[in-house]
């Protein structure tokens, strides 16, 4: 067989013709395979995989192969065919007439029509995927559907070309009528794909063609949102300059914006672009979520500080969506970044409250508990006392780490002496709490609960509530009641009072701490707190 193809172009030719068993009455499917793989830049592939339905006594076996005709077909050079055809051609050719026409045809146009009829051959997306623009032109010439989907998710050729960032193919598809607003099964357009994957050239072409920069997927995400989330700064800049709306909500609850995505993912350059363009209603507005929450949630200290520097509130608004009353409460969920976030929030004036102390107990951050007390966390009035007591009861086994500091800071022990505390804590903890009261003048309701508890408790508790407080103890209570809250939180202030040193120690409950074996607690210095502290 003489061929006009270069020897280096033809790698192999495989011919398989199964034998026909005429003795069987059932149909047999026989396949003929011609595979010619070509080399280099000009990849020539022509495949003939035929299905022949040979019914015994009805159809005769196929005629012998005409090798010269095959060679003529190859040398017709009518297109460059992607080698993915190998996988899909066999089941699609299902007519003896089609095969006969193919083998006998000498017309290049007829061959093309047979190979690329749009209802049979769906190789347009494959041509796009492999960048074969000549194949693409040929397919479109013979009627391939430029908007036909080629995957389970509904992607079509324009989605694929955008993802491949083949500008020449994108322009060709658009010129041939590709729908620039076509969507996959999740409502994603080609422009959205370009923004998501940072395909700047594709994005620019689609925007120039008039594609909608504010399109939204089924989950209401926008191209600007996804570009901000993925950190594609140049795409964000292009979208913003092309009219993308930074205030278009990207979720059903109408609070999530591109600025939230940038803050949560730690993209500082994008965040800097979005801060001056985003409406501040998201900062403290009701039913909204401040991007400060997003920065804390992502654990990105630089983004957090950038937001606070531009005037965002460190306290934000109560965030029912995430279940936190403040960004400080959310910070407790972070491990490695916890101390950095806490210091930044306090640096910009975050207000502390009892919930923050409760979270310290919940997450066993007792050093931070004492640090918050030193920083002036209010001890009254408390609107969330029940939540605090709930966490305090769970942390009772480690009470020596936090309860002495709380009571010495001036917290009213009567706030603890409720039914849940009295009924749940150990005798030692209850006695320790009573040391900061005049237990003989408690409110009747509290006295009754303690008496009930003592009736089935240890002898130590019974003896304690039966004895009278000493005069010195009552004097201690009176002196401490005259001191301001900030003075009670400062050991140094009490030690500077014009009193003997023994009285300084007595005012600081040194003998009670010693009797209950409370260890010397780490001193909290002014300034920032860290893990080393």
- 320 pLDDT more than 80: yes
Establish if 430 belongs to a structural domain.
Answer: yes
Establish if 135 belongs to a structural domain.
Answer: no
Nearest one of 403, 406, 401, 392 to 361, comparing CA atoms: 392
Cis peptide before 293 (omega within 30 of 0): no
Q: Do 76 and 93 have their domain in common? A: yes
What is the Cβ-side half-sphere exposure of residue 509, based on CA atoms within 13 angstroms?
26
Given this model, what pLDDT does residue 523 score? 60
Establish if 212 belongs to a structural domain.
Answer: yes
Among all chains, which residue has been given the structure tokens 């076996």? Answer: 61
* Digit-coded pLDDT (tens) for 180-229: 999 999 999 999 999 999 999 999 999 999 999 999 999 999 999 999 99
Domain extent at residue 514: 386-533
- Residue 97 contacts by C-beta under 8 Å, 6 or more apart in sequence? none
What's the structural domain count of the chain? 4
Given this model, what pLDDT does residue 212 score? 98
Q: Do 29 and 162 have their domain in common? A: no
3-state secondary structure at position 30 = strand
**Domain limit, last residue, from 245, 278, 301:** 245
Q: Do 251 and 222 have their domain in common? A: no
Given this model, what pLDDT does residue 532 score? 56
Mean pLDDT value of segment 275-293? 95
What is the Cβ-side half-sphere exposure of residue 9, based on CA atoms within 13 angstroms?
14
Establish if 123 belongs to a structural domain.
Answer: no
Q: Do 78 and 150 have their domain in common? A: no
d(CA 256, CA 273): 17
Q: Do 152 and 220 have their domain in common? A: yes
Residue 362 DSSP code = H
Establish if 362 belongs to a structural domain.
Answer: no
Establish if 277 belongs to a structural domain.
Answer: yes
Cβ neighbours around 198 below 10 Å, total: 17
CA dihedral 86→88→92→96, nearest 10 degrees, is 20
Establish if 271 belongs to a structural domain.
Answer: yes
The angle that helices 223-230 and 233-241 make with each other, rounded to 10 degrees, is 160
Nearest one of 361, 351, 310, 362 to 327, comparing CA atoms: 351
d(CA 439, CA 455): 16
Q: Do 396 and 458 have their domain in common? A: yes
* Digit-coded pLDDT (tens) for 24-54: 433 333 333 333 333 333 333 333 333 333 3
**Domain limit, last residue, from 222, 245, 268:** 245
CATH of the domain at 161: 1.25.40.20
Q: Do 160 and 93 have their domain in common? A: no
The angle that helices 301-309 and 291-298 make with each other, rounded to 10 degrees, is 160
Q: Do 527 and 401 have their domain in common? A: yes
Nearest one of 419, 388, 409, 264 to 330, comparing CA atoms: 264
**316 within 8 A of 308, measured Cβ to Cβ:** no
Q: Do 330 and 423 have their domain in common? A: no
Nearest one of 409, 402, 436 to 512, comparing CA atoms: 436
d(CA 362, CA 372): 15
Mean pLDDT value of segment 396-425? 96
Establish if 158 belongs to a structural domain.
Answer: yes
* Digit-coded pLDDT (tens) for 304-316: 999 999 999 999 9
d(CA 82, CA 130): 7
Distances (CA, A) of 379 to 317, 409, 532: 21, 8, 27
**More reliable by pLDDT, 68 or 323:** 323
Q: Do 240 and 251 have their domain in common? A: no
Nearest one of 390, 402, 329 to 364, comparing CA atoms: 402
**More reliable by pLDDT, 367 or 20:** 367
Q: Do 215 and 274 have their domain in common? A: no
**More reliable by pLDDT, 236 or 73:** 236
Q: Do 402 and 458 have their domain in common? A: yes
Using alpha carbons only, how large is the chain's radius of gyration in Å?
A: 39
The answer, as to whether pTM is greater than 0.85, is: no
- Written as six digits, the tokens of 241 are 């300059």
**205 within 8 A of 235, measured Cβ to Cβ:** no
Confidence of residue 93 (pLDDT cuts 50, 70, 90): very low
Q: What percent of the chain has pLDDT over 70?
A: 75
**More reliable by pLDDT, 39 or 22:** 22
């Amino acid at each position: 067989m003489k061929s006009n193809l270069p020897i280096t172009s033809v790698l192999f030719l495989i011919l398989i013709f199964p034998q026909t068993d005429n003795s069987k009455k059932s149909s047999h499917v026989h396949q003929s395979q011609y595979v010619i793989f070509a080399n280099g830049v000009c990849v020539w592939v022509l495949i003939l995989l035929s299905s022949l339905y040979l019914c015994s006594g009805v159809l005769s076996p196929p005629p012998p192969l005409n090798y010269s005709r095959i060679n003529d077909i190859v040398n017709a050079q009518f297109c460059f065919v992607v080698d993915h055809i190998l996988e899909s051609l066999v089941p699609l050719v299902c007519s003896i007439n089609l095969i006969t026409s193919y083998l006998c045809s000498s017309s290049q146009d007829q061959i093309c029509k047979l190979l690329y009829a749009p209802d049979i051959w769906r190789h347009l997306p494959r041509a796009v995927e492999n960048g074969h623009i000549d194949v693409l032109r040929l397919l479109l010439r013979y009627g391939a559907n430029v908007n036909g989907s080629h995957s389970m998710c509904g992607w079509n050729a324009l989605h694929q070309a955008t993802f491949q960032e083949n500008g020449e193919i994108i322009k060709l598809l658009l010129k041939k009528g590709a729908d620039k607003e076509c969507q996959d099964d999740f409502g994603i357009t080609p422009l959205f794909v370009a923004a998501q994957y940072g395909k700047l050239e594709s994005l620019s072409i689609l925007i120039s063609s008039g594609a909608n920069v504010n399109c939204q997927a089924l989950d209401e995400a926008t191209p600007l949102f996804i570009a901000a989330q993925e950190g594609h700064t140049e795409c964000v800049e292009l979208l913003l300059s092309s009219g993308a709306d930074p205030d278009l909500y990207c979720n059903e609850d109408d609070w999530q914006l591109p600025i939230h995505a940038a803050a949560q993912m730690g993209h500082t350059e994008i965040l800097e672009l979005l801060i001056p363009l985003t409406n501040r209603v998201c900062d403290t507005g009701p039913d909204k979520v401040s991007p400060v929450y997003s920065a804390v949630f992502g654990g990105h200290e630089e983004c957090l500080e950038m937001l606070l520097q531009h005037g965002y509130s460190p306290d934000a608004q109560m965030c029912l969506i995430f279940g936190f009353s403040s960004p400080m409460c959310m910070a407790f969920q972070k491990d490695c970044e916890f101390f950095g976030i806490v210091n930044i929030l306090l640096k910009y004036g975050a207000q502390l409250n009892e919930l923050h102390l409760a979270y310290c107990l919940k997450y066993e951050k007792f050093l931070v508990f004492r640090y918050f007390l030193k920083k002036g966390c209010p001890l009254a009035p408390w609107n969330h006392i029940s939540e605090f007591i709930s966490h305090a009861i769970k942390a009772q086994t480690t009470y020596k780490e936090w309860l002495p500091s709380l009571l010495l800071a001036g917290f009213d022990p009567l706030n603890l002496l409720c039914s849940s505390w009295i009924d749940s804590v150990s005798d030692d903890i209850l006695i320790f709490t009573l040391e900061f009261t005049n237990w003989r003048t408690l409110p009747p309701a509290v006295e009754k609960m303690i008496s009930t508890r003592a009736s089935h408790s240890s002898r130590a508790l019974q003896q304690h509530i039966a004895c009278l407080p000493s005069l010195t103890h009552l004097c201690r209570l009176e002196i401490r009641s005259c001191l301001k809250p900030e003075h009670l939180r400062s050991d140094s202030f009490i030690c500077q009072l014009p009193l003997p040193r023994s009285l300084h120690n007595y005012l600081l409950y040194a003998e009670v701490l010693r009797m209950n074996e409370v260890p010397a607690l780490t001193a909290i210095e002014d300034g920032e707190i860290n893990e080393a502290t």
